[in-house]
Amino acid sequence: MVAIDIESEEGQREALRRMLTIRAFDTKAGDLFGDGELPGFVHLYIGEEAVAVGACSALEEEDYITSTHRGHGHCIAKGLEPEQMMSELYGKRDGYCNGKGGSMHIADVDAGMLGANGIVGAGPPLATGAALTSHLRGEDTVALAFFGDGAVAQGQIHEAINIAATWNLPAIFLVENNQFGEGTPVEKQHNVQHLSETAEAYNIPGFTVDGMDVTAVFEAVREARKRALDGEGPTFIEADTYRYRGHFEGDQQPYRTKEDVAIWQDRDAIESFKQKLVDAGTITEAEFDEMESEIHDRIEKAAADAKEAPYPDPSEAYEDMFSATVPEINEFARQMRADGGERQ
C-alpha cells in the first residue's frame, strides 16, 4: 500500500478508514477469542490505531516494517487484507502464513510486512537487517521497527540501534509507549522521562510524539524517512499511546483502574480525528456512519468465511518452514517428510 498524504482530504478519509478497520478487526477478534473460536492467544491493538496508520501512511509500498506480538494493526495499516488475516487467526490454509503463524506471527514479505513476532524486542534486529540489505543493494527503501515500551529494556534493541547508527542505515525505530510493559508501569522500568532519550546514547535524533494523533505520527515518520533516504541514518521515535484492553485477552488488569482507561478513551484517536474532519467539512456524520457500517459488515463476513475455510492438510506440516531461495534447506525438509520426521 503506497503512502497517503494525511494533509489532503482524500488522504484524511483513507487514514480514518484504516483506523476504523483496525478497530473493527480487533474488536471482532476479541469477541471470537472470548467465544473459544480462535486457537492460541490474541493481543489486541484497540486504542493504538493512530500509531500504525500514521506511521505506515508515511511509508511507500516497497518499504519494510517489523511488528510485535500485538501486530494486527501494523498488518492492516501496511496493506494486508482483513480476510486473509482472519483466516490466519483461525489457522486456515488461505491465511497469510497458510494458517501456521496465527495471531502473533502474521507476515507477508511481498507487502513489506516482515512479520509479527512473539519474542519481545525481536523486530528491531530484523529491521536493521532489512535496512542493511537496502543499503547494500542501493535501494531507496527504509525499514521501520515497531516495538513496545517494555521491549526497550531488551538488549537486542540496543544492539540493533547501535549497528544502524554506526553504519548509518536507513532505519526507523518506533516505540509504542502504551504505558505498561505487560503489567508494569513504564516509569518503573526506565530511568528516563521520555524513552526517546534513548537516542542520545547513539547520537541519532529522538522525538516523542502524541501517539493518539495520527497526523503527528505521520509527520514524524515522514521526516524520519526523508532523513534516512538522504543518507542521514536512523531516527528513534516514541509515540505515547494506550491500549484499551488487557495485555492479552483474559488479562485481569490489576495494575490499572477503569478510571485510568477512561481518561485515555476520552482522547480516542478515531473519535478525535473524525471530529476534526467533520468540523473541517471533509466528511459528514452520515458519511462516517456509512463508512463504519461498511467496515463492520466486511469484518463480519471475513470472520464467517474464515470459520468455514479449510485447514492445512497434515501432509503440509513441513512445508513453508524455510526460504524457497535456499535449495539445500528445502531438500532437507523434503527428506524429513520422506523419513516421517525422524531425520536429525
Question: Interior CA angle at 257 toward 237 and 292, to 5°?
Answer: 65
Q: State yes or no: is 43 an active-site residue.
A: no
Q: State yes or no: is 255 an active-site residue.
A: yes
Q: Which of 186, 177, 181 is nearest to 209 (CA)?
A: 177
Contact (CB, 8 A) for 269 and 50: yes
Contact (CB, 8 A) for 150 and 189: yes
Catalytic residue among 13, 255, 296, 318: 255
Q: For residues 160 and 124, give the distance between their C-alpha atoms in angstroms, rounded to a whole number.
A: 6
Instruction: Measure Cα distances from 310 to 95, 305, 306, 338, 339 in Å.
Output: 10, 10, 8, 24, 26
Using CA atoms in the order 30, 21, 67, 173, what is the torsion angle rounded to 10 degrees? -130
Q: State yes or no: is 334 an active-site residue.
A: no
326: exposed, middle or buried (Cβ count in 10 Å: 0-12, 13-18, 19+): exposed
Q: For residues 174 and 19, give the distance between their C-alpha atoms in angstroms, rounded to a whole number.
A: 18
Catalytic residue among 74, 105, 243, 245: 243
Residues marked as catalytic: 243, 247, 255
